[in-house]
């Protein structure tokens, strides 16, 4: 049957059904608009977007989603690949050690259809952060499990463990740091200021927005602290995937800031901070100084800004600028993707790169965003 004959036949059926349908727009123009949207939709999807040039992680997610996996499944595969590869030494086991020389993992997965979230924080003894987060979402009514409880739950649900998450590289990094009198570190307003502790409060000093006010504050002397977060000591993979059905999910994984205080939880497992997704709007991923960024929930801000009509680029820049107005020395970035697959990034304090693959690309493409 020719296309014109087929359309005529379908239109005749619709006209016949018109008396049976109240409040339905069955005009020829309206019907063609709906049909056209359905026809072009598969050409735009799937889409994979990730922070940083984590190419193998994006390829893993792409293979999964291109073969029919859901957005959630593809996010798990992509982030898991990054964990196995120890992306930049700050994702997965064997990466950034804390003050005690131990690697601990934060991870999150969020389903933009159901708005369900599963996350783990400060997880020890289990190497599969993103899979553990997914298990929390699938097999519990909780959103976030932390510490020993997260480890126990993940192992009980079938993940391998317990195991030592350190590596020769992380042990060497920690040993060198100890020899350097545990400097730099994330302590403030403590004594001794330039040693490994044990620490006690120094009530004669105070810090404001990264500036240390010395005891000679009355003389207006300010001693600036060196930023502790940079592109190679605090990276997070934050990934968004839109599957063939147009559904979106996001996920993150990180072992956090190098030499963090034991027990520290960053923005990685915090929904709305490191990542956020809503099928009606789009998604967002973030990376950088999580201790600062999590106070602003930048990814929630991005998605809500897009909901109000901002383009991805506008929404990303707006979220970053809100943080920069309060913390001028912070380093961080966000990448935004709307429900149609359009994407953009924004950053502050460093040059940011993010990776994309969609049906128009033969392989992953990396985009560079200047501060």
Positions marked active-site: 236
- The answer on whether 287 is annotated among ligand-binding residues is yes
CA distance 33 to 29: 6
Residues 335 and 325: beta-carbon distance below 8 Å: no
- Binding site annotation covers 288? yes
Q: Pairing relation of β-strands 144-146 and 117-123?
A: parallel
Alpha-carbon distance of 79 to 128, in angstroms, equals: 10
| Dist. CA 154–CA 132, nearest whole Å | 5
Residue 345 annotated as lining a ligand binding site? no
Q: Is 124 annotated as a binding residue?
A: no
149 is in an annotated binding site: no
What does the DSSP 8-state code read for residue 290?
Answer: H
290 annotated among ligand-binding-site residues: yes
Q: What is the distance between the alpha carbons of residues 29 and 240, in angstroms, rounded to a whole number?
A: 35
**Residue 318 burial by Cβ neighbours in a 10 Å radius (0-12, 13-18, 19+):** middle
Q: What contacts 136, CB < 8 A, 6 or more positions away?
A: 118, 119, 120, 142, 143, 144, 145, 150, 153
CA distance 350 to 327: 14
Residues 6+ apart with CB under 8 A from 300: 271, 272, 273, 276, 284
DSSP string, 146-215: EHHHHHHHHHHTT---S-----HHHHHHHHHHHHTTT-S-S--SEESTTS----EE-TT-EEETTEEE-T
Q: Residue 15, class by beta-carbon neighbours within 10 Å (0-12 exposed, 13-18 middle, 19+ buried)? A: exposed
289 is known to lie in a ligand binding site: yes
CB 107 within 8 A of CB 130: yes
**How many angstroms separate the CA atoms of 196 and 207, rounded?**
20
* DSSP class of 327: -
Q: Is the peptide bond before 140 cis (omega within 30 degrees of 0)?
A: no
Answer yes or no: is 226 a known binding residue.
Answer: no
The annotated binding site is made up of 264-267, 287-290
The annotated binding site for substrate is made up of 264-267, 287-290
């Amino acid at each position: 049957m020719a296309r014109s004959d087929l359309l005529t036949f379908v239109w005749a059926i619709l006209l016949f059904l018109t008396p049976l349908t109240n409040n339905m727009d069955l005009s020829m123009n309206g019907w063609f608009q709906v049909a056209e949207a359905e026809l072009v939709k598969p050409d735009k999807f799937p889409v994979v977007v990730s922070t940083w040039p984590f190419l193998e992680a994006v390829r893993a997610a792409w293979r999964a989603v291109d073969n029919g996996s859901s957005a959630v499944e593809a996010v798990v595969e992509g982030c898991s690949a990054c964990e196995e590869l120890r992306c930049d030494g700050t994702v997965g086991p064997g990466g950034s050690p804390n003050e005690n020389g131990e690697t601990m993992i934060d991870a999150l997965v969020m389903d933009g259809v159901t708005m369900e979230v599963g996350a783990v924080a400060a997880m020890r003894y289990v190497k599969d952060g993103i899979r553990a987060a997914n298990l929390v979402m699938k097999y519990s009514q909780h959103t976030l499990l932390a510490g020993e409880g997260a480890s126990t739950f993940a192992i009980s649900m079938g993940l391998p463990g317990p195991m030592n998450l350190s590596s020769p590289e992380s042990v060497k990094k920690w040993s060198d740091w100890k020899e350097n009198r545990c400097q730099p570190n994330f302590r403030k307003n403590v004594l001794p200021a330039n040693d490994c502790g044990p620490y006690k409060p120094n009530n004669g000093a105070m810090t404001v927005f990264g500036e240390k006010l010395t005891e000679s504050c009355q003389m207006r002397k300010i001693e600036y602290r060196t930023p502790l977060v940079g592109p190679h000591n605090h990276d997070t993979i934050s990934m968004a995937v839109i599957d063939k059905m147009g559904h979106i999910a996001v996920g993150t994984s990180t072992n956090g800031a190098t030499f963090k205080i034991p027990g520290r939880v960053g923005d990685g497992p915090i929904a709305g901070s490191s990542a956020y997704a809503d099928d009606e709007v789009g998604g967002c991923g973030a990376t950088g100084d999580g201790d600062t960024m999590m106070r602003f929930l930048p990814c929630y801000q991005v998605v809500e800004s897009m909901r109000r009509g901002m383009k991805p680029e506008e929404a990303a820049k707006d979220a970053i600028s809100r943080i920069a107005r309060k913390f001028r020395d912070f380093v961080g970035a966000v990448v935004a993707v709307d429900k149609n697959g359009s994407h953009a990034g924004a950053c502050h304090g460093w040059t940011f790169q993010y990776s994309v693959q969609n049906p128009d690309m033969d392989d992953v493409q990396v985009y560079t965003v200047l501060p």
